[in-house]
Amino acid sequence: MSAASARTQPGKTLDVAEPSTPCWGMNRPIGLVPPPLMHETKQRLLAAGLRLMLENGYNALGLQALLGDTDVPKGSFYHHFESKEDFALQVIDAYMAEVHALLEATLADQRRPPLERVRGFFEGVREAYASQGYLGCLLGALGQELAGASEVFRQKIEGCVAAISARIGVCLEEARTHGDLPATTNTAQMADVLVDAWEGAALRTRLVRTGQPLEAVLDFYFAAVTVR
């Protein structure tokens, strides 16, 4: 999904963020190198925006609180972002850049069996959630808050979730061809089910503030799908 090109005006078709420069300052479970191309002020704003929106949501995010948190003047904010909506869409892009980086690091590792790679991706995401205090998934949180009120955000977030599912589906198809899943398995559907179950468990972690719902989903899913 191109992170820089995904910003649109309301009513226009949204591009889904492709792998791009991760946002330095966000929690990176695999220790990604800070990007050299993004302006340091913009990095700080995006990282703070991710944290504040995870904690309080989009509607509760105030510009003054963001600027105070980052010690950035208002003029600098509007140098990098056209509006609050544009800022939030770029936060999603930065978040997705890190998701794509973790997908690439785990799913492309040919030294591990495909199903192990898929589980490894979700375990990496769980580590990120733990480092954030189990506030759940930014996509799920913003989707619940904004999908009914903004077609721009609904399309954006659904596109991001679909992109994750598609990457997972490719690895599950590899598992099917290797005989690790039944030959008749619909791997695209399996990927959707896993991502949907994960998003529900991520929401539950906000309530219980532990990773137990995430581990339960993974244990149940992989026990159910593995060929015996």
Give me the residue label for tokens 């009513």. Answer: 11
CATH number at residue 86: 1.10.357.10
Provide the pLDDT for residue 163. 97
pLDDT for 10 beyond 50? no
- Mean pLDDT, rounded, of the chain: 86
**Chain-centre distance of CA 19, in angstroms?**
11
Q: How many domains would you assign to the chain?
A: 1
- The confidence band for 35, taking pLDDT boundaries of 50, 70 and 90, is low
Q: Specify the DSSP element, H or E, that contains 41.
A: helix 40-56
Q: How far apart are CA 43 and CA 83, in angstroms?
A: 17
DSSP 24: B
Residue 24: phi and psi, rounded to 5, are: -60, 135
End-to-end CA, the chain: 37
- For 213, the domain range is 4-225
Provide the pLDDT for residue 39. 86
Q: Which two tokens stand for residue 9?
A: 């005006």
pTM given for the model: 0.83
| Coil, helix or strand at residue 9 | coil
CB contact at 8 A, 52 and 65? yes
pLDDT for 26 beyond 90? no
Q: How far apart are CA 153 and CA 84, in angstroms?
A: 12
At a CB cut-off of 8 Å and minimum separation 6, what does 223 contact? none
Q: What is the mean pLDDT of residues 27-32?
A: 37
Q: Please write the tens of the pLDDT for every residue from 144-182.
A: 999 999 999 999 999 999 999 999 999 999 999 999 999
Instruction: Find the farthest-apart pair of alpha carbons in the chain and give their distance in angstroms, rounded.
Output: 61
Q: How far apart are CA 20 and CA 182, in angstroms?
A: 35
Provide the pLDDT for residue 162. 97
pLDDT for 183 beyond 60? yes
- Concatenate the DSSP letters of all residues of 148-194 into one string: TT-HHHHHHHHHHHHHHHHHHHHHHHHHHHTTSS-TT--HHHHHHHH
